[in-house]
Each structure stands twice: as structure tokens, then as C-alpha cells.
Structure 1
């Protein structure tokens, strides 16, 4: 190879690398511009009063996930205008739920070396009433219909329900007395009609029927079960297999839940189902994507749930009877609660 040929090749390589670098810079600038444009055209935020007893009709409260200074704050919109401007509260929660003027807010406490977590019970003005240490990463939260009971689940180890290498801790507290059951695994279990004990029991995803009775998921021996719980008797009774993250309908007759389906990817195993508690008949909803959430009943016939979105999660809705199709309710939002 002559000296001239080597120089030509070197010059060509320099020009090629320069072109690639320029292209990468322009692409990054375009991406950044696109993100800025998306943020500029994202949900409108405004500060104001957020109440758990809204005076102006039915409202939807969520954890706001839109980028900006109000990310993770509890925000509210009219229930009939979920795409409208969001009134932000200044209160940040990782998980949230509310009913009848009471709220539960699971928060991170950022330390120098590591984060810790806490469960904060809120009054109707989102002021703190009481706080409890939480043993791990927040994942589920619910308030009873009366507002008198609060429940939360955290990951003690692991951070996903998809595999088997995780452990949860679920607590229930009476907001009138602050009496707490901080680990439902200590309740007495009746499985398939017989007393049952095992070291691998996990409980998560409480949904309240009233101030004494609730439903939840119990996992043991590689199986999951819908259980009915009794706070006073401290008992859990299995009702149905392959039920996770149950959510009780307003009339108390149906459970929405995520079910592991055959043939699905181990990383995306769940579909959204509804169980009739009288007949134990299962109905598959029309949503065919993977659902890793505790769905919420918007009313007696509609479910709300989270799916991955550009900024974390978006909220979607689907009819509970298996008909219709999924539609996006609200972008950049998580942990919904309907009030009023």
C-alpha cells in the first residue's frame, strides 16, 4: 500500500467518523427537543386546594407522573374531564388511595446512603394524621369505603411479582384507634377447608368490603389464592385459585384481578379478569395486554388500571363485562381514587 493510499484511507475514516458524530449530536438534539415539546404540551398544572371531600362534584385523584416540579404529587381533576388541568397538592406519594375523607400515602424518605419508606394516613385536607414505618418498597394501598381502615403492601425483598424471588409485608390499621396489624401473615389461614401453615406464605393487595372484612392475595407453594379476611377474628380463608391484586366492585359482588394465563411470557404473565363471587365464574376483559396493577372500579361497570407510559404509567379503562375495548383515560398518572 502506497503512502498516498494510506493518507486517502485515513482522510476518509476521519470524515466518516466526523459525519457519524455530527449525526449523533443532531439526533440527540432532536430527541431533547421532542422531549421538551412533549413536556410543554403535557398536562396543565395549577396549584390549589385538593380535598378528600370535594365540594364541587365527583373528582379523580392520582399520583401525577408528568415531568416537572409537581411530579409524584397528588393531583385532582373532575371525574368527567380526566384530560383537563390538574390541581396539584404539594403532597408526594409513591402509592395512594382515598375514600370518605381519609387517605393513605406511601412515601420515600431519602437518606444520605439509602432510602426508607413510610405509610402516612391523611385527613380530608391531606394533612398528616399518623405515620408508620414501612418495611420496604411501596406497591399497593387501599382505604375502606368508610375511611376507617387503611391497608398497604410493600416489597420486603425483590421489586416485582413476576418471579418467585420476592417477599411482601401487608399491614392494616384502624384510623380511629391506630391499632395496627403490621403483618397479615400472622393471621390463621384456612386453605381448601382445612387449617394451613407454611413458611412461604405471602399476603398482598388488600381490598376492603367493610371495616372488618377484606379480600387479598395469598401465595404459597407456587400458587396464588383469593382469600377473604376477617380483622376481628384474624383469619384468612381461601376462595379461588390464580387471583392476584383483587379489587372489590362497589356492590360487593365481583372481584377484578390479574390472572396468570397459560402461554404468556414469564415477564408479562397477567391478564385482567373479573370473578363473580356468587357463582365463581371468571370473565376475561377485552384488555389483552399485560396488567401489573391493582385495578380500580370507576363505577359498577368500568375498570381503571395502569399500563407503562412515556413518563412511567398511563391510566386506562375497560368495561368489566368483557365487552368493548381499552381506552386511555389519563396520561402520566398512577394510583387513582374516585371521590364524591
Structure 2
């Protein structure tokens, strides 16, 4: 029963099989492999964007950082929520690659509002040469709190950015989880609501390690290529990225895995709500749950030896009745039986 992170889950067997197949013989490097041609067509079809530029990178931090660097200048600021992944979990990589700073927009339940974004935007680019200029907007979908922006909310944010001549980026490490939860198309969640670039996640959802950088404005594609190379993220044996993404997208596997993870999360959430000692902190809408329960309950669960999840305190030391926050994440491989085992332990 491993609920610490979807990063900890296994790669899907079909992804591994694709890697073994790609390992046969020789193929040109640096993205010139024939599999990448198929991947580019797959991604364009998924997004209904025939002219989109598509590139692969091995992890989400690099995907976000190189895209945002391509979209911004060193004298600009990137707008994001105060709990965005690019702020909390990327060790200033977006700032390192872009030279820009981050301006944090207050979030409620993990999400920015258009009004709060506008207030932050109008607070910048009004001090002439002495202050940062306005750069792109970055939206995390699924949010770091496990919530999801509706299509209307994304459209409102990107429209606000457009009012000020700003572009918008979508950090989609859990893109498939959001897509299946909203029951919409990739196009409807991106360029049709004003998104200019996307980090399409694979690693958290059954790939070994691959993300797709999707750019709807081909005019900036060459700069992205240069920045990817200069930043050390153009993989020489690129076919192993291509093979993963090809298998990931084939026959809707990526959506099937996301649906499985979301379903297990919904099952888990229902069981947690039925337990009097548990308080849900946010409405789980994809595959992540944040909850509170007394220290003694956390300790009992962890002492059982078969449960792994993230918590914010020491289960051994302190008031046994003090509430501590826990985070549970379901990946594609989590089973209904595994969730039932967790809930059985919880009930004692």
C-alpha cells in the first residue's frame, strides 16, 4: 500500500516493452529517430494542433523550466500561484533557466482567480527600468492540492494574461488525470482556452521518464530547441524517450492509466470521509488527497508496516490528539484491493 507519490509507481509494461523494442539495432540520435516522427504526429492529433511543435524531455522540472525560459526574458517576472510546483518543488530551476523571477499569486484550494492574478499583474511593470517587466503566466493542472481548474477558470486566467500581452503555460505533470476528470479533450483544456505551451506529463502516469513540451506557436520553437540543448536536456539516445511517449499515447493507454488512478483516489476518499477521525482539507478531484487526523491514528497506521504516505510531522513525538496532515497519492497501478486494505487498517 504505497501512497507516497505517483512518482514511486512502476512504469507500465507496455512502456517497458516499447523500450526493449526500441533497443534493437541503430537509430539516429538527438530526436532524429523515426519513432519521434510518429510521436510528433500522435501529440498533434491528441491536441488537434497540426502545426504544434513537439519536443521530449526526461523530467518535468526541465520541461517547465525550458518552456518558461523560452517564453520569458531575464528582466521579466513569471506569474504563478503561491503553491505552484514551479515555486515549491523545483529548486528555483525556472529562475535559473530563464533568469526571470516568480511573482506569486495567492491561491485558494490550490487555484488562482482571475481577479487575484490581475491585481498581481497590475502591480508590476509600473516602475520603469527599476522593476521587473511582465512575463508569462504558468498554471499547474492538476494543482499541488489535488484540485482542478475548470475550463472556464483557465480561460479567465489566460484572458487576463492576454489583456496585458502575456503568454500562458500549463504545467501538466498530471495532465491526463485532469483531462479524464473534466471529461474534455486536450485541445479544450489548452489552446482553445488560451494556453500557449504545455508540459505534457508522462512520468507520474506510467512512463519511465518522459515529458512532452508542446508549443502551439511555432515561431518560438527554434529558441526552445536551442535552450534545450544549451541546458543539457537534449538526450543523445533520444529514441528511448520517443519509445516511451509512443507507447504512452497509443490506444489511449495514458487516459486509461489516469482513469484508474482517479478511480482509486475516489474510492479512497469515500472511505476516508466515512471515518469520524479524518478531515479532508481539499476536495480531491484527481488522484491526490490531503487530510488531517490525530497523531495517534497516523502512528497506528504507519506502525502497521504496510502503509506508506507523506505526513507533515513526527508520528512518535507530541500530543497524541494533535491533528497532523497527510497526503495520499494514487498511481495507475494501485488496486481496489490495496485501497480496501488501507481502509481496513484505518477502521482498526
Q: TM over 0.5: same fold?
A: no
Scaled to the shorter chain, the TM-score interval is under 0.3
More helix by share: 2
